[in-house]
Amino acid sequence: MGLQIFLDGKFVSEEEAKISVFDHGLLYGDGVFEGIRIYNRRVFMLDEHLERLYGGAKVIRLEIPLSPEELKEKVCETVRVNGLDDGYVRLVVTRGKGDLGLSPMKCSNPSVFIIASTIKIYPDEVYREGLKVFTVSTRRNNPDSLSPQIKSLNYLNHVLAHLEVLHAGADEGLMLNDQGYVTECVVDNFFIVEDGVVKTPPTNAGALAGITRKAVFMLAPTEGIEIKEENLSLVECYVSDECFLTGTAAEIAPITHIDERAIGDGRPGPITKKLMEAFHEFRESYGTPID
């Protein structure tokens, strides 16, 4: 049996999972989504993901037709139906079917769909040897025009940046804001280590308040590691002792080169490794059981 997709109140096959061409999620990128991991038959940090989803929906005045508790159960049910012990969930809420006009008022029924499958962004050797990152010319959207805290369906800013990464032959891209400060990677949050202190750009610089980023803020103090938000220039990144990124799909991955400059000794650093180990333990037990 193929994938079973939860779509507007029922489960349908992958082939039957269709939305209208008049859905404003398709026409205008009008909607919100979350990418969520499954570990050891637990949905990792599901409450935190749902809090962000409903927060983003509130900002864009999108009424999700399920309560948080109902949606939580539907996520778990989708995982159960697809028989997954470990994997990835994509939870999407669109504005729904309207017409060719921009107005969201024409969309009376938001659409909810949930996909539970598997995902692997990087090969295993990346976590041993590190990533090569390239600074892209595409700037991160200005937070005053579009808040990065809204995880919306319009990802064109990221797509353009990723095209640059592919052209450069790099593993990931580093994005700057209009002031020239580092914001985040194309699809992940970004951290450096300097004199034993972990630093990451603040969300008001243009970084998403990532869920795995939040986990690092939870774990660092328990490991005796100081962590703080701080505006970062590229120069500070080049001369840092260590770098790493975090993301739902990538988890915690070391960065060993930025713009062909070795970070530290060009190998994953001790604090990065320590946080990776702590995260691996944390992810197995922290989450919502699917049974």
Where in the sequence numbering do the catalytic residues fall? 151
CA 237 – CA 202 distance, rounded (Å): 15
CA 122 – CA 96 distance, rounded (Å): 34
Which one-letter amino acid corresponds to residue 256? T
267, 243 contact by CB (below 8 A):
no
Instruction: Tell me the longest C-alpha to C-alpha distance in the chain.
Output: 57
181, 233 contact by CB (below 8 A):
yes
